[in-house]
Every structure is written in structure tokens, then in C-alpha cells.
Amino acid sequence: MASIKGSRRRGIALHLPLVIGTLVSAFPFYWAVIMSTHSSSEIFSYPPKLLPGTHFLENVRNLFDAVDFFGSMWNSLLVAVSVTFLVLLFDSLAAFVFAKFDFPGKGMLFGLLMVIFMVPAQLSVIPQFVLMAKIGWIGSMTALIVPAAANAFGIFWMRQYMKTAIHDELLDASRLDGANFLRQYWHVALPVVRPGLAFLGIFTFMGQWNDFAWPLIALTNPGNVTLQVALSQLNGTHGTTDYGIVMTGALLALVPLLIVFAVGAKQIIGDLAKGAVRG
């Protein structure tokens, strides 16, 4: 029998490392908040500042002067929302077909999908760039949206989800009622897999919002970029980097993500782990 004292000691031994881990997780966010309230010269003085300063509004003003913050945020939003919408539509349609219907060539087409899943991104960067330069998409958001509009991961993941979530009896019943393919998709499949769509949607949105390598290459007009590229421009100005401004930009760029995460945290964490364990 463990005494109350013993179990309390065990509790502390367990919580202490967990709390330290939480602090380490949170510290960079705290640091960004603190840095965004100081001027660049304060940031580079010793000892490091651990309490808020008074330059936040000034930094925000300078940030908006230095880059088209809202313009690039709008671009990021446009790309992330369009891609999320298209991915949800195309991936769930394809997943529904692969999960619940049979047709000639199905095995081969699905096998192809799994192979595509494993092809690394760099292999397609150059040809994609050349192709898009030819059709005139380089420099525009179309270059980011179209290639991302459907993906193998989402189809595979949704198919696994739909296989168990949508019962065949439901589909049979709806067919007897005379429902065609699209009606089945819309009225039978989609309502059942709504949690799966929420996961895929949040996951896609965050991935697009954070995407960096391809936008850096494809958005050749420095005045018309996504938020991540704008941030890196801010950081990359040789010699004259104003850390107060850069930190403020980094902080403000995190806000929309944190909101999405706050709304969907439970969904993301639960479903992500489920997929990994199922394998």
C-alpha cells in the first residue's frame, strides 16, 4: 500500500519533467512575444531581455512599412483556403470510389497512387518550374494552388477512414431508393466522414500556410508573395536586419495558425495518432 506521501512524491517526480518539457515547448513563443516588444538595439544588448518592453506598436508600424504584410497574408490565406477546399473535394471523391466501388483497373490505379506517394518533391521541382514558366503561372498563386489540389496522402488516408466509417448497408439502401453516385457521395458518405474531413482540412490548411520551399522558388515577383516568403525576405535583408521587426512579423504570422490549432487541436492530435498506429 503506497502512502499518501509516497504517491504525492511520485506525482511530483512525474509532473516535474512534464512541466519542464512544457516550458521548453512554450519558451520560443514567449521569446518571440518579448522580442517583438523591444527595439533592435535593446535585443542586441546584454543580458537578454526576459520582460516585455515598450516598442511593440512601433515594431508593428515598421513591419507594415517594410513589407506588404496584409497583402502577403491575403495571398497565404487565398492559397491555403483554395487548396484545402479542392483537396477535400477531390480527395474525398476519389477515396469514396476506392473505398466502396469496384471497376476495371482499380488495383493498378491504386497501386500507382501509392507509388506516387513515395516520390520525393525535389525530383519534380525543376520540371514543374520549367513547365509553369512556359504556361505563365510562375509568379502567381496559381503555381501554388493547382499542383496541390489533390494528393496521394489525403486519398489514402480518407480511403482508410471511409472503409470502416461508411456501412455498405447504407449505400445499398440509398441505391434502392434510386440515389445515383453523386447523391450517395453527398448525402450518405460526406455526413458520416465529417470528422475525417475536419482532420484532413486542418492538416492541409496548416501545411499550405507553412509551405516555404516551392513558394520561395515559384513566386518570382518579390512584391507578390506568401507570408512565409515575406518573412524570410525580412530576415534576409543583408546587414540591416531589424530584429524587432522580424520578431514581430514572425509572431503575427503565427497567430492565424494558433487560432486554427486552438479550434482543431483535439481533432488533429487524436486522428493523427490513430492513423499512425493503424499503420
Task: Tell which positions 122-141 bind another protein, by CB under 8 A.
Answer: 122-128, 130-131
Contact call for residues 30 and 238 (beta carbons, < 8 A):
no
Residue 194 C-beta: closest distance to another protein, Å? 19
Q: CA separation (Å) from 33 to 23, 69, 76, 178?
A: 15, 18, 22, 59
**CB closer to another protein, 113 vs 192:** 113
Among 43, 141, 188, 219, binds another protein (CB under 8 A): 43
* CA–CA separation, 129 and 150 (whole Å): 19
Residue 179 touching another protein (CB under 8 A) = no
> 78 in the Ramachandran plot: left (φ > 0), alpha (ψ -120 to 50) or beta?
alpha
Residue 223 touching another protein (CB under 8 A) = no
Binding residues for another protein restricted to 248-267, rule: CB under 8 A: 249-251, 253-254, 257-258, 260-261, 265-266
Among 67, 84, 98, 138, binds another protein (CB under 8 A): 98
Closest listed residue to residue 247, CA positions, set 31, 27, 25, 26: 31
Instruction: For the chain, give percent helix, strand, coil, nearest 5.
Output: 75, 0, 25
Residue 44 — φ and ψ, nearest 5°?
Answer: -95, 15
Residue 53 C-beta: closest distance to another protein, Å? 13
Residue 279 touching another protein (CB under 8 A) = yes
Residue 228 touching another protein (CB under 8 A) = yes
Among 101, 186, 222, 223, binds another protein (CB under 8 A): 101
Residue 217 touching another protein (CB under 8 A) = yes
Residue 158 C-beta: closest distance to another protein, Å? 11
CA dihedral over 130, 134, 135, 138, signed as positive or negative: positive
